[in-house]
Structures are given as C-alpha cells and as structure tokens.
Structure 1
Amino acid sequence: MIKKLLSTIREYKKHMILAPVFVTLESVLEIMIPTLMAFLIDYGINQNNMSYVLLMGLALTALAALSLLTGIFAGRSAAIASSGFAKNLRRDMFYNVQRFSFSNIDKFSTASIITRLTTDVANVQNACQMLVRLAVRAPMMIVFALIFSFRIDAKLSLIFLAVIPVLGIGLWLIMSNVHPIFVRVFKTYDRLNNFVQENLHGIRVVKSYIREDYEEEKFAGVSQSIFQDFTRAEKRLSFNMPLMQLCLYASMILLSWFGAKSIVASGNNAALGLSTGELTSLITYSLQILMSLMMLSMVFVMVIISRASAERITEILSEESDLKNKDQSVPTVNDGSITFENVTFAYAKNTDKPVLSNINLTIESGETVGIIGGTGSSKSSLVQLIPRLYDVVGGKVTVGGIDVRDYDLATLRHEVAMVLQKNVLFSGTIRENLLWGNENATEEEIIHACKLAQADGFIREFPQQYDTYIEQGGSNVSGGQRQRLCIARALLKKPRILILDDSTSAVDTKTDELIRQALLQHIPKTTKIIIAQRVSSVSDADKIVVMDDGRIMASGSHQELLRDCEIYREVYESQNRGGALHE
C-alpha cells in the first residue's frame, strides 16, 4: 500500500525531500537554544557578566531567527508536497476509473468512488503534511534533546526513558482500538453519499409521492450511525491528551524535585552537581521531548484516521480493468457485420443462472435489425457485448469477422455508436454535447446529424440555438429532446454499427418513423440495431429478433414472426388493441 501511494508523488519529490531537511535544521537550531540559555544564566547572570549576557542574547536572537526561517521553508515545502501528492492521487484514481470496465465500476458504487476521491484523499493529504513535518520533527527533537540532556545529567535524563515506554504503549492501545471504527465510518460515508445522490437524482419522484419525511428519516438514520461511530472513536482518542499530560507533569515534578535537591547539595556549583542554568535547560528539554511526543500522538491519531482512507484509495489504484487490449490488437474494423456464436454471458462470474444463454445470431453489414422482448429479457445485455462493454463468459462475438476481444478497444468503440437506454447529456452547450461524437465535426455535419435525428427543429426554437446551455443531466430539455440529441451525437461518429437501445421511447410515433426513415436513407451502409418496446418501431427492419429470459425465441421478418411466433403476435395484437382503444 505504501509503495503504491508513494509512486504518485512524482514531480513533488523535491519538496517531499526538502521539507524534512528544513525540519531537521529547525530542530537542531531549537535544541541549541536551551543550552545557550544555560550558559547565559550560569556564566552571565549568575556571574554578573553583562558582556557575556549581550553575546549570548545576540546568539539566541540569531538562532531564533534562523529557526523561524527554516520553519517557514519547511511549512512551504510540506504544503506543496502534500497538496501535489493529493492532486496526483485524485488524478491517478480518476484516470484509473476511466479505464474501468462496467464490471469494475459495478464493484464500487458511484458514491464510494466519489468519497474516495474527496474525503479519503483529504485525509491522506492531511496525514502527509503532518508526516513530512511533525513525524520528522518530533523524533529529531526527541533524539537531540535526549543527547543534550544526557550531556548535562545522565541520571536525571533517565526520567525521560522511563516515561517514553508508558506513552508508547498507551498510544498503541488507543490506535489498535480506534482503527476498526474508522474503517466502518468511511463505509457508512459511502452509504450517506449514495443516499444523497439517489435522493437528488430522484427528487421529482420524492416530491410527487410526498415522501420527504421518509427520506429525512433515512438520512437521519445514516447520519446518526456516523455520529455514533465518530463519538465512539473520539471517546477512545480522548485518552490521548490525559496520557500526555500525565507523562508531562510527572516528568516535570520528578525533574524539579531531583534537580532542586542536586542544586541545594552542590550549592549551585556546576563542578559538584547541577547548576541553575542546567536545571532550566533540562526542564526546557523535558518540555521539548514531551511536546514532541505529543506531536507524535497527533500524528498517530491522523495516521489512524487516514489509514482506512489510504486502504480505500489503494483499492481504486490497484484495481485493473477486466477488459484489456491484446499485445497485437487489430487496428481496423473491416465492416459492420456481427455474429454471436454460442454466446453465454453473466454479470457475476459465479452465478448459476446466466443472463444470456446459447445465443446464435448473424447480422449482415448494413442490415437493420430490430430486437423486441419483455422487460428483463436481456436485450440491452446482448448489444452491450458488441462494443465490448462486457466480455462473454462463453462463446464469442465477432465484428467484421474478427472476435471483439482481438480488437483495439478504442478502435472498436469508435466504430460502434451506442445510444443507451439511459440518455446522458453533460453540462455545457448543445454544440459541446454533440461534439462528443466527433470533436472535429464541422457546423454542416452537426446540423446534418441533428436533422437526421429530428433535433434541428426544436434546437432552432431556442434563443441561443446550438449554443443553448444544457444543465447537468439535460434537466432543462424534455425526455424526447434528450433522446434526439443523443442520437445526433451518435451519428456524428459516422459509425459502422449504430445501436439504438430503446432510445426513441420518449418521442411520438410520427417522429420515431421519421428518424428511422432518415437513418435508412442516409446511412444505408451502417448496420443498425434497434431495441424497442413498440412493434411499429421495428416492423420495417430487415430482421426482427424476439427475446425472452435471455434467449432468442425467434427471428425473421415482421410477416414471418406474425405467422410463426406466438410471443411476437401477442405483443403486436395487444399494442394494436391498445391503439384502437386509445383512438
């Protein structure tokens, strides 16, 4: 895990190294100050030597100024290093998510990925900044302060060695009890973010069913769970400060007691025992040692919190896509022909019931194929195998006579345009959304694609026309308009294969027919696969495939299926009766 995280530092290595170097210099300078103070007291004030006092005063001022300067440089370097580290972490995580297959994304919820990119990275960033400063400064201060303390009085300095194990054991006990709680807390954060995302996405449904109170109760429940876990963790962490204070005050009392006895016994004669200046410096060193231990305890607390976050971040960074290019992948797609040969598919590898079973289907290049079937018949699952959004479990899918697993992924997906069941538009202008299909498309190509998709008419009615701003998710356009824009975007790719996954369900039958006729006339060489609930949307297709429960029940022309397929005939008659009643 540590190796994986450190590999993301990259261009910020310089600042990551400079910060500890400046911290070390700062620590050395601070350690020298108590010794100079002891000299000032013993050889200046006690001996009434004002020139020596002035000399030591200037030296102390210089040391304090240098310490301040190195502290500023250390803080600056640590800030740049930790911020850059966090930036690279977010970048690497996001880039890796972009390479995920659908099955990889299914493994992590959307809310969980968002939490890892935000809250978890912030925790690791804070821990990094503390580690490069405090985790370096504190040990340095302890080591140097112990060396100087033993130089002054080895026996009294043993007090520090007695206190450190007590504090270390106490901190270890706290850390071992708190870490599991924070692991659970961040999983609960995922649930909270998932709930909020779901609620905001479906806010119209919530309001239409007057379920605000129910949603508030759900939110309160998850929020209460986070509160209880954090409270439980903070109660354990609260023992940190009393333990520090116990060690600090115990050391001070013992130092003062034994130090005062030594001074009284020696008559403040350094040659015979401990001098006043040396006791003062020892007390200062004790404060530095114990404050450094307190810094370490703060680092431990932050490490406890960030450890769970670091593990979650590493999971994203270490996840490898299930779909990879072969070393010698095919760089071009010859034509739009498609075959399914004994295809079996399941979303979960260990499931007993596959989503698709024994699929055999041949589609010639340039054909228009309709796919019809009830909800849950796996129509969408079938077509998602063509651009290799998922890989088959058994059998194979070929495009242009070549197994889709042998193609370069980018090449294959460039030649397969897919308008998914859930139409997605991104925040930006209509033109910017359309250019997703082809970033180099000319104005004429954009307008032509929109005309084929029957979108140009309503776009012209907007005041800004093609520069009209689309809100996130396309919330300021209707469902039918959103579908037509997505079809136009797909057409701009000029693909060999066009898949419309129930993507005209929100438009009226007349517009649906106009879109199909435009596709037939203007892109005759493109293989077109149309998934629909309405028989009228596929009745003029070259071939219609009827699916049920993950199997192909029949295929043929509209007339052949009316004659030979009972399922198709029932759907056709029920829709016609519905149309007659409606009229």
Structure 2
Amino acid sequence: MLFRLVRERLRRYRSWILLLILLQLIGVIASLYLPSLNAAIIDKGLSRGDTDFIWHTGGTMLIVSLVQVIASAGATYVGARTATGFGRDSRAEIFDKVAHFSGREVNMFGAPSLITRSTNDVQQVQMLVLMGCTIVVTAPIMMGGGIVMALREDVGLSWLMVVAVPILAGAIGMIVVRMVPGFRIVQKQLDAVNRVLREQLMGVRVIRAFVREPYETSRFTDSNAVLTEASRKVMRLTGAMFPIVMLVMNASTIAVLWFGGHRVGDGEMQVGALTAYMTYLIQILMSVMMATFMVMMVPRASVAAERIQEVLETDTSVKPPSQPATVDQLRGVVELDNVSMQYPGADLPVLCNVSLRAEPGQTVAIIGSTGSGKSTLISLIARLFDATGGRVLIDGANVQDLDPEVLWGHLGIVPQKPYLFTGTVASNLRYGNPDATDDELWEALEVAQGRDFVEKMDGGLEAAIAQGGTNVSGGQRQRLCIARALVARPTIYLFDDSFSALDLATDARLRQALKPYVREATVFIVGQRVSTIADADQIIVLDDGLVVGAGTHEELMETCETYQEIVASQDGQEEAA
C-alpha cells in the first residue's frame, strides 16, 4: 500500500528524481574515493617523505571533498523539493476527494479522522519520502562500494563485515516487525484525541453552562493517557535501535583495530590501508544506520498510507452520471415520486413513499415532529444523499441523471445549522455569486432583515466574521446565511428550519419581504412554528416519515389531526396569526 501510494504520486517528479540519483551517485563516489587518497598519503607520502606527492594528493582530496559537498547539498535540495511536492499533491488530492463526499462518507470517517489523515498521516509519508530521497540511493551504493573498496585494501579482515552487517540488520528487523501494530494503535488513538478535542472546542459553551469542565478535562486526560502509553511503547522500541547500532559500530571499530593491528605488526598490512579499511567499514555500517532511520519510519508511514489510501479509494455515494442529462436552464419544477430513504445500518426508513410536486412561484412548507424526516427530504432534493426508493425529479429529470455541479448551481440552501466562513460579511454573502455588487448585497441583507445590524458593525460589509460566525449571534448568523442564499438568485430555495432563531416579529417581516424577491423561484421551507409556514401554497405534514397531510393551512385545519395537534401545541390562533 505504501509503495503504491508513493510510486503513483512521484511519477510527475521523474526528472527531479533522476537528477537526485545523479547527484547522490556523484557524492557517494567522492566519499568512497577519499579514504583511498588518505591511505596513499600515509603509505606513500609520509613514509617516503615525498612532499610533492602529499601536496598533489592533498589537492585532489580537496577537490573531491568540494565535489562531494556540492553534490550532497544539491541532492538535499532536490530531495526536499520532491518530498514537499509529494505532500502538497497528497493533501490536495485528499481535499478534493473529501470535497466530493456525500454526508454518508463524511459521517463514516468522521471529521476528526479526515483532518488527521490529510495532515498528520500525509506528513508521516512525506517524511518517509524525504528520508527515502536522501537515503534510498546513497545507502546501497555506499554499502556496495564500501565492501568493494574495503576488499581492495585487505581481504583478510573481510570476515568482520560478514559478521557485523547481518547482526545489525537482523536486530533492526526484529524491532521493526513489532513496531507496525504499535503505530497503527497510535494513529487510531490520535483520531480519538482529535475527536474529543474538537467536541470540546465546539461545545465549550455547553460545557461551561453545565459546569462540566472537570468531567471534560478527565475525559481528555484519559484519551490523552491512552495515546501517551501507546506512543511510549513504540518509542521504547525506537529507542532500542540506536544503542544496538552504536554497539555494533563501536564493536566493529575495536575489532578492526585489534585484528588489523596484528596484521600491521606482522607486515601483512600497511597503516594507511588499515585506516582506509576502518573508514570503509564505518561507511558500510553508516549506510546500514541510515537505512535504519528510514526503516524506523516505514511502520508508521505504512499505517498512514493505508489510512490515506482508504480515503482516496472510497467513492462517493452521490456519483455523477456517466452521461448527464442535457439541461440549459432549470425551471425549478420539483417532484418526489414515492420517495423512500433509509440510512445505512438503520432498522427503519426515515421517509416512506413521499410524493409531492412544486412549481416555480410556489412555496411548499414541510412541518412535523422532531425526527419525522423533514431535513432528510430537503437533503434528497439537493442530492446530498440519494434516495433508496422512488425518484426525485427536477423539470422531469431524475436528479441522479443531472450533473451535480449543474444541480447545485441552481439551488440556494440555508442549512439547519447556519455556518459562516472566516472572512468578511461581503466575502460570505458573495459565496454563491462572486460577481455580486455591493448594492445587491445590501438588497439581500434588507430582505433577510440583516441590514440594520450589519450597518452597525465596524466596517459594514467589510466587517470581520470569525470561523463559523461565532462573533455574531445565532439570529444574525441565520439572517446572514439567508442573505447569502438570496444573493445567489437560485432557481430553487431550500430553507431548512432557517427561521428558528428569529423572533416572531422579525420572522414575519422577513417572510413578507421574501415573497416578492423569490416570486419566480420554487421555495421549500422546513419549519417548526406554524406562523412561519401558515401562508405557504402547500403544507406537507410528516409523521414518522409518512405524509399524513397535504394542503393549505385552512384545509389542514379541517382534515389533518396531526396538524391540528401541532397548532394546538403552539397555542392555536395566536401562534398561527
């Protein structure tokens, strides 16, 4: 999984990788050449007192060292550029994939997990790519070249390499095998910590209102403790690698000096050759150690790659048609034909055999008790989910046959939970129509009953809006979201309980101003208050996913018992007025 993820995304960097290999090859050859030159100075220059040879060879060493430095610096730059490019492309690909997910896929992964996968998981793989770009060519060439050059200096000590390298590689391999499941636990627990932290940040007002700070602190502490313990177990294994590497390297150096010293004393080996051999053995073990650093990162990066690939290989349940229906301009005729909807894993459907029809210029209201399926019905019209039964038609075409981008471009949705983005009032209002003028923004604000408070804000249309719109009240946030939908001038408006935070007077003024503004569009309003939907052209009453009444307010007051109960619960005539 890890190899496939990296290979597929590094194909676009082939030229950079070829340059990287060339630079690393030059640098390794230079590093392998230096010990031989040093041995020549010791054995031929110093022993004979040949000053010219020493100066000539020393100059060559200086040039080779300069070449090595330049090649190494260039390889580091190219490797860093390749790795950061890989990270950028991976994050962009995950973001693009998640942006096309329906609510079903987002709920399946969970927002905290998706955030972790697009940040921490990508970073783990990116670090492995960086280490790979630095080591993957250098280590094997240095090991192979070091073995050849060491044998050139002296064959009698070759048994030291045969003993040291397998011992080091075997010890590291045993540790790495145990690290993989540990890192998998760490990444899952990191998701859990992010989930708890995200809930606490978003629900901080609720926590304070119910004085639950000690409980939430304990909850985060417990989750954090589990992550800490899982990380500690993995870090113990990681920490064991370095002592093993250093033990083998130091023991090998001592062995070379001990057995090589005897060979020098017996006249079987020159001092310069011994020095060069020891340098080559250290280079061989260093290459193993460099590979160790990379291998240390493989388990965690492998787990991260699996999680990234899981997102990239998940297809959205709201798939664009292979041959979209040709639509020049949607009129806005919406029809639901025996529509049913059952969420995955649910025992019962949330909507059953719902049928209705709405045409341009009409306002259709949907009312019912909590959990009756009102928001689900709106989501099906917007194709945020696909119906599990029946058909949702717009202008006679099934929404599943329409290009989602075309469909959504004709919809103006005001969600049940209004959300604003970091920026200004103007940038939020222009979200659906970037070319809207200031006059159009003020007009939409006036209809949404938001002009008064926006004019009082510091900067007016350029007033700052915090993430989620937390620096404005719930009612102001709701009115700004309504104005945002109005600015887009869509064909179909979907107001999902979008007036719940407004007082009755503001609600009445907004609805009165809204009528002429949307008179040519098809309007759906989900409401809890009868006063909000009483003047709709058609009111759909839902009860446990079933349509138990349809008609005007007056008709339902005579024919629908469920609607009568809703009106009575809101104090009848006063609320309906």
State TM-score, norm by structure 1.
0.95
CA deviation vs aligned residue, 1:444-480 (integer Å, no higher than 9, x gap): 2222222221112222222422111111111121111
The amino acid that maps onto 1:438 is N
Question: What SS is found at the alignment partner of 2:534?
Answer: coil
Alignment correspondent of 1:108: 109
Q: How many residues align?
A: 574
The amino acid that maps onto 1:380 is S
Change (3 A) 1:578 1:287: farther
Alignment correspondent of 2:278: 283
Alignment correspondent of 1:412: 407
Residue 532 of structure 1 and its aligned partner are, at CA, apart by 0.7
Matched, 1:455 2:456: no
Q: Is the 1:331–1:411 Cα contact (8 Å) retained in structure 2?
A: no
Change (3 A) 1:578 1:506: farther
Residue 118 of structure 1 and its aligned partner are, at CA, apart by 1.8
- Of residues 316-325 and 284-293 in structure 1, the stretch that sits farther from structure 2 once superposed is 316-325
**Whole-Å Cα distance in 2 between the matches of residues 481 and 181 of structure 1?**
48
Q: How does 1:422-461 map to 2 (within 5 A)?
A: 422-461=417-456
Alignment correspondent of 1:555: 550
Question: What SS is found at the alignment partner of 1:385?
Answer: helix
Q: How does 1:101-500 map to 2 (within 5 A)?
A: 101-266=102-267, 273-332=268-327, 333-348=329-344, 350-500=345-495
Residue 521 of structure 1 and its aligned partner are, at CA, apart by 2.4
Q: Is the 1:5–1:314 Cα contact (8 Å) retained in structure 2?
A: no
Alignment correspondent of 1:270: none
Question: What SS is found at the alignment partner of 1:410?
Answer: helix
The amino acid that maps onto 2:141 is M
Question: What SS is found at the alignment partner of 1:239?
Answer: helix
Alignment correspondent of 1:567: 562
Residue 125 of structure 1 and its aligned partner are, at CA, apart by 1.8
Alignment correspondent of 2:58: 57
Residue 578 of structure 1 and its aligned partner are, at CA, apart by 11
**Whole-Å Cα distance in 2 between the matches of residues 282 and 464 of structure 1?**
74
Residue 160 of structure 1 and its aligned partner are, at CA, apart by 0.9
Residue 207 of structure 1 and its aligned partner are, at CA, apart by 1.4
**Whole-Å Cα distance in 2 between the matches of residues 77 and 434 of structure 1?**
43
Q: Is the 2:429–2:483 Cα contact (8 Å) retained in structure 1?
A: yes
Residue 304 of structure 1 and its aligned partner are, at CA, apart by 2.1
Q: How does 1:11-26 map to 2 (within 5 A)?
A: 12-26=13-27
Choose from 529, 533, 537 the match for 2:528. 533
Name the % identity.
35
**Whole-Å Cα distance in 1 between the matches of residues 570 and 409 of structure 2?**
36
Question: What SS is found at the alignment partner of 1:344?
Answer: strand
Residue 331 of structure 1 and its aligned partner are, at CA, apart by 4.1
CA deviation vs aligned residue, 1:234-292 (integer Å, no higher than 9, x gap): 112222122212322332233223322222222xxxxxx22111111111111111111
Consecutive unaligned residues in structure 2, runs of 5 or more: none
Q: Is the 2:410–2:492 Cα contact (8 Å) retained in structure 1?
A: yes
CA deviation vs aligned residue, 1:469-513 (integer Å, no higher than 9, x gap): 111111121111111111111112212211111100011112212
The amino acid that maps onto 1:133 is T
Q: Is the 2:45–2:54 Cα contact (8 Å) retained in structure 1?
A: yes
Alignment correspondent of 2:83: 82
Q: Is the 2:32–2:146 Cα contact (8 Å) retained in structure 1?
A: yes
**Whole-Å Cα distance in 1 between the matches of residues 226 and 391 of structure 2?**
47
Q: Is the 1:336–1:366 Cα contact (8 Å) retained in structure 2?
A: no
Residue 442 of structure 1 and its aligned partner are, at CA, apart by 2.0
Residue 384 of structure 1 and its aligned partner are, at CA, apart by 0.4
Consecutive unaligned residues in structure 1, runs of 5 or more: 267-272
Residue 38 of structure 1 and its aligned partner are, at CA, apart by 1.2
Q: Is the 1:397–1:404 Cα contact (8 Å) retained in structure 2?
A: yes
